[in-house]
Amino acid sequence: MKPSFDPNQPIYTQLVDWFKQQILGGELGPGEKIAPVRELALELGVNPNTLQRAMSELEREGLLYTERTAGRFVTSDRALIAALREEAIAKILQRFLAELITLGCTTDDALRLIKKYGGEINE
Amino acid sequence: MSEVLLEIKSVSKRYGHKGALRNVSFTVEPGKIVGLLGPNGSGKTTLIKIINALLADYEGEVLICRQRPGKESKRLVSYLPDKMALPTWLTVNEALNLYDSFFSDFELARAQALLEALKVPHNMRIGELSKGMQEKLMLVLTMSRRAKLYVLDEPIAGVDPAARDQILSTILDNFTAGSSILLSTHIISDVEAVFDDVIFLQDGNIILHGEAEALRSEHGKSIDQLFREVYKC
Q: Is A18 on the interface with B (CB under 8 A)?
A: no
pLDDT (tens digit, 9 = 90+) per residue, A9-45?
899 999 999 999 999 999 999 999 999 998 899 888 8
Domains in chain B: boundaries: 6-230
CB B191 within 8 A of CB A5: no
Q: Is residue B6 exposed (0-12), middle (13-18) or buried (19+ Cβ within 10 Å)?
A: buried
Q: How many residues does chain B have?
A: 233
Contacts of B196 in chain A (CB under 8 A): 47, 49-50
Query: pLDDT band at residue A106, thresholds of 50, 70 and 90?
Result: confident
Query: For domain B6-230, which architecture applies?
Result: 3-Layer(aba) Sandwich (3.40)
CB B67 within 8 A of CB B77: no
CB A28 within 8 A of CB A70: no
Give the count of Cβ contacts less than 8 A between chain A and B: 54
Query: pLDDT band at residue A112, thresholds of 50, 70 and 90?
Result: confident
pLDDT (tens digit, 9 = 90+) per residue, B12-38?
999 988 889 999 999 999 999 999 999
Bridging pattern class, strands B77-80 and B149-153: parallel
Instruction: Check A7 against B225: CB less than 8 A apart.
Output: yes
Chain A residue whose CA is closest to B164: A45
Non-local CB neighbours of B7 within 8 Å, separated by 6+ positions: B27, B28, B61, B62, B63, B64
What share of chain B in percent tops pLDDT 70?
A: 99
Q: Is 1.10.10.10 the CATH classification of the domain at A11-76? A: yes
